[in-house]
Amino acid sequence: FLLSLKLENKTKGKLQKQICQVVLDHFEKQYTAELGDSWASVRDVLTYPLCWQYAVLLNKFNHSTELENTLRMKGYHPAFQGPLPYFPASLKCYIRKTPGKFPAQKHQAGKLKEYYLLNAASLLPVLALEVKDGQDILDLCAAPGGKAVAILQCASPGQFHCNEYDELRSRWLKQTIESFIPTPLINLITVSKLDGRQMGDLKPELFDKILVDAPCSNDRSWLFSSDIQQATLRLIQRRELSSLQFQLLRSAIKALRPGGSLVYSTCTLSKAENSDVINLILNSCSNVMPVDISEMAKAVSQEFSFLSGTQQHELLVLPEKGRAWGPMYIAKLKKM
């Protein structure tokens, strides 16, 4: 008993990380202005990791009924039970109301993992993308690889191109793919380290569906920056992120076939990196139009809390207690 108590305190210590005051002050100012009354409850969740929840995405390439039984016994239930416009039966994800993390599986060469732990909101961009068998897919900023794994749970693409510019994150992406995807299928996946801003020129009109899960200010992790200088620098560089996101989106539009669609996502609440970027794209690219995703939001409104007043082609998941998913911004566009 004493040992388990020690272990529990050790994990609690790990979870009760120090909040970075510089970042919190910055967010306080910005998000009070942008989110109004919603910010206070969002802040309570973001600054208190002990109430965070984690979803368990099952790997259909190493399926285990025993695992599903264990999850149900521990109070987990299948996520996304509403009448979604797109929900492949092969995508299985379990969530529960109570906070806490199911134990992670270690990477073992030659052995596929049975599940992937993630924020349930990060499956919404994948569901919005509506990937079908045989389509050519590009995941433009693919590391660490959770969304790529989820895409492959949904369908078997014709060609699947996963790109990650950052060297370290690219290695992480490769390891994720090796951990979840069997060899014959891995051979059909292209992993590249290209600058995403050049993808459109290198591969014009090659893809049916593109996911741009853009580099952004990651609100959850930034709040716990241990290095004050690094945090301050991040907040200064934050202003340049929207320009990068815009360039990545423009490149993705070039790489998209006419008739193809694109989903843009971030894990920040920041308006400058979310709706402002999308509005700029819609105002400057005459060959794209917004796609209504409000039906998807309606179908999952039991499990996710959304910011009200957004446009029909976008949603912003707001974390709240008992539904501590997000932040996650999603917008969908179609190329004419």
Do the annotations mark residue 147 as ligand-binding? yes
Do the annotations mark residue 13 as ligand-binding? no
Catalytic, out of 20, 162, 216, 267: 267
Determine the Cα–Cα distance for residues 226 and 52; give it in Å rounded to an integer: 19
Do the annotations mark residue 195 as ligand-binding? yes
Do the annotations mark residue 82 as ligand-binding? no
Determine the Cα–Cα distance for residues 289 and 307; give it in Å rounded to an integer: 22
Q: Is 20 a catalytic residue?
A: no
Helix (H, G, I), strand (E, B) or coil at 186: helix
Do the annotations mark residue 157 as ligand-binding? no
Q: Which residues touch 7 (CB under 8 Å, ≥6 apart)? A: none
Do the annotations mark residue 143 as ligand-binding? yes
Do the annotations mark residue 273 as ligand-binding? no
Instruction: Categorise residue 264: left if φ over 0, alpha if ψ from -120 to 50, beta otherwise.
Output: beta
Instruction: Write out the DSSP string of 121-176.
Output: GGGHHHHHH---TT--EEETT-TT-HHHHHHHHH---SSEEEE--SHHHHHHHHHH
* Residue 11 CB coordination number (10 Å): 13
Do the annotations mark residue 145 as ligand-binding? yes
Judge contact between 207 and 259, C-beta under 8 A. Answer: no
Sequence letter at residue 251? S
Q: Which residues touch 1 (CB under 8 Å, ≥6 apart)? A: none
Annotated binding site: 141-147, 164, 195, 213
Annotated binding site for S-adenosyl-L-methionine: 141-147, 164, 195, 213
Q: Which residues are tagged catalytic?
A: 267
